[in-house]
Chain A
Amino acid sequence: DGGITQSPKYLFRKEGQNVTLSCEQNLNHDAMYWYRQDPGQGLRLIYYSQIVNDFQKGDIAEGYSVSREKKESFPLTVTSAQKNPTAFYLCASSISRDRGEGNQPQHFGDGTRLSIL
């Protein structure tokens, strides 16, 4: 079945450590997104990518980095510069930047919960 796979489901980070969250999709979608969700709050956009080898900062990009070397993959690195990384991280994708005004819902993975040791 087509979908978005995030791994791992739970991740623990030590002080000063960088960690990378994986996001893979087999929906043949061009656009991919990373969101952060804190308890009782909505989604905040970290980074997004409309196409391979291109990505843009979202609303809270500081302390995070991404790459988009393949269409299927959009890994997120939480760097040691992110002082409050404990949160639930969600990856999403949507169909095509060339779809124009057509319907483009985002499809989500099951999330990664990151905690500090």
Chain B
Amino acid sequence: GEDVEQSLFLSVREGDSSVINCTYTDSSSTYLYWYKQEPGAGLQLLTYIFSNMDMKQDQRLTVLLNKKDKHLSLRIADTQTGDSAIYFCAERAGSWGKLQFGAGTQVVVTP
């Protein structure tokens, strides 16, 4: 199957920017997603990007997509302690809603 890869851990100081990276393998991916999971909870959809875009900004979140390198990143500006969570990237695999998820990046925000 197709693989989505993420680094496992990121530590960032409060107020700094966080950048979470993801690589995917399916060149036919149409939509790519970022989800946030807080401890003991389900996944919350943060944002998404369509494959014909290379950037999308949504308040403190900026998604960058490099289709040539199959690289996706999520930048969180002015990181807060409430941003501490696991972040998953996912690619849409096929013509309907089935998604392929990465293993998640644990983000820890320190004061």
User: Which residue numbers of A lie inside 8 Å of B, CB to CB?
Assistant: 4, 6, 31, 33, 40-43, 45, 48, 50, 59, 90, 92, 94-97, 99-101, 103-111, 113
> A31 CA to B34 CA in the complex, in Å?
20
> Which B residues have a C-beta under 8 Å from some C-beta of A?
1, 8, 30-31, 33, 35, 40-45, 48, 50, 88, 90, 92, 95-99, 101-104
Q: For B8, B31, B95, B97, which residue has the most chain A Cβ atoms within 10 angstroms?
A: B97
Q: Look across to chain A and name the residue whose beta carbon is closest to the beta carbon of B30.
A: A101
A99 to B21, CA, bound (A): 29
User: Given the complex, which residues of B lie within 8 Å of A95, measured CB to CB?
Assistant: 97
Minimal beta-carbon separation of B25 from chain A (angstroms): 15
A42 in contact with B97 (CB, 8 Å): no
Is there an interface contact between A97 and B96, defined as CB atoms closer than 8 Å?
yes
Cα A45 to Cα B93 with chains together (Å)? 13
Is A110's CB under 8 angstroms from B50's CB? Answer: no
A59–B18 CA distance with the chains assembled, in angstroms: 32
User: Are A101 and B97 in contact, CB atoms less than 8 angstroms apart?
Assistant: no
Instruction: Indicate if the CB atoms of A104 and B43 lie closer than 8 Å.
Output: no
Question: Are A42 and B45 closer than 8 Å at their CB atoms?
Answer: no
* Alpha-carbon gap, A43 to B92, bound state (A): 14
The one of B48, B96, B101 that contacts A105, using a Cβ cutoff of 8 Å? B48
Q: Please determine whether B97 and A111 come into contact, CB atoms closer than 8 angstroms.
A: no
Residues of A within 8 A of B92 (CB): 104
Are B50 and A109 interface neighbours, CB within 8 A? no
Specify which of B44, B50, B98, B102 is in contact with A108 (CB 8 Å cutoff).
B44
